Structure 1
Amino acid sequence: MEKGNRVIRIANAPVSYGVFELARPDLVALPEGEELARWISEAGYQGIDLGPVGLLGRGAELTDRLRRHGLELAGGWVDLPFAGADDDFARAMANLDDILDVFVAAAETGPPLAPLPTLADSGSAARKARPGGAPELTLRGDDWARFADRVNIATARVRDRGLEPTFHHHACTYVETPEEVDALLASTDVGLTFDSGHLLIGGGDPLPDFRRWRDRINHLHLKDARTRILHEALQADDPMRSVWEKRVFVPLGQGDLAVTELVDEIIGSGYSGWLIVEQDVVPRSTAEVERAKAEQVANRDALRAWFA
Structure 2
Amino acid sequence: MRLETQWLVAGAPVSFGVFEAGAAPLPAGEMVAILAGAGYAGIDLGPPGYLDLDRLDGLLLAGGWADVPAGDFADLDAVLDLFDRAPAAPAGFEPRPTLGPPGLPARFAAPGGNAPGLGRADWPAFAAQVQAAADRCRERGYEPALHHHLGHAVETTEEIDRLLELTDVGLCLDTGHLLLAGGDPVEALRDWAGRITQVHVKDGSHRLLAEGGTLRELMGRGVFPPLGAGDLDLPGVLGALDGYRGWIVVEQDTLPAHRPTADIAADQAANLRKLKELGL
TM-score grouping bracket, smaller chain normalisation: over 0.9
Report what 1:141 is aligned to.
Answer: 120
State yes or no: 1:167 paired with 2:146.
yes
Structure 1 residue runs of 4 or more that deviate by more than 4 Å after TM superposition: 1-4
Q: Which runs of 5+ in 2 are unaligned?
A: none
State yes or no: 1:264 paired with 2:239.
yes
TM-score by length of 2: 0.93
Q: 2:59 aligns with which of 71, 75, 96?
A: 71
Name the Cα RMSD after superposition.
Answer: 2.0
Q: Say if 1:104 and 1:163, in contact at 8 Å, map to a contact too.
A: no
Give the letter aligned to residue 142 of structure 1: A
Greater share of helix = 1
Give the letter aligned to residue 95 of structure 1: D
Correspondences of 1:1-308 after superposition (within 5 Å): 7-20=6-19, 22-23=20-21, 30-57=25-52, 62=53, 64-66=54-56, 69-80=57-68, 89-91=70-72, 93-106=73-86, 109-112=88-91, 113-134=93-114, 137-234=116-213, 239-267=214-242, 270-284=243-257, 288-305=260-277
Give the letter aligned to residue 104 of structure 1: D
CA offset digits 1:105-125 (Å, max 9, x no partner): 226x24441000100112122
Query: Shift of residue 140 of structure 1?
Result: 3.8
Equivalenced residue count is 279
Give the letter aligned to residue 8 of structure 2: R
Deviates more, 1:170-179 or 1:202-211: 202-211
- Structure with larger Rg: 1
Give the whole-Å Cα distance in 2 for the aligned partners of 1:18 and 1:94. 25
Q: Say if 1:2 and 1:8, in contact at 8 Å, map to a contact too.
A: no
Give the letter aligned to residue 97 of structure 2: P
Query: Shift of residue 224 of structure 1?
Result: 0.4
- SS of aligned partner of 1:250: coil
Give the whole-Å Cα distance in 1 for the aligned partners of 2:37 and 2:279. 16
Identity of aligned residues (%): 45
TM-score by length of 1: 0.85
Query: Shift of residue 307 of structure 1?
Result: 5.7
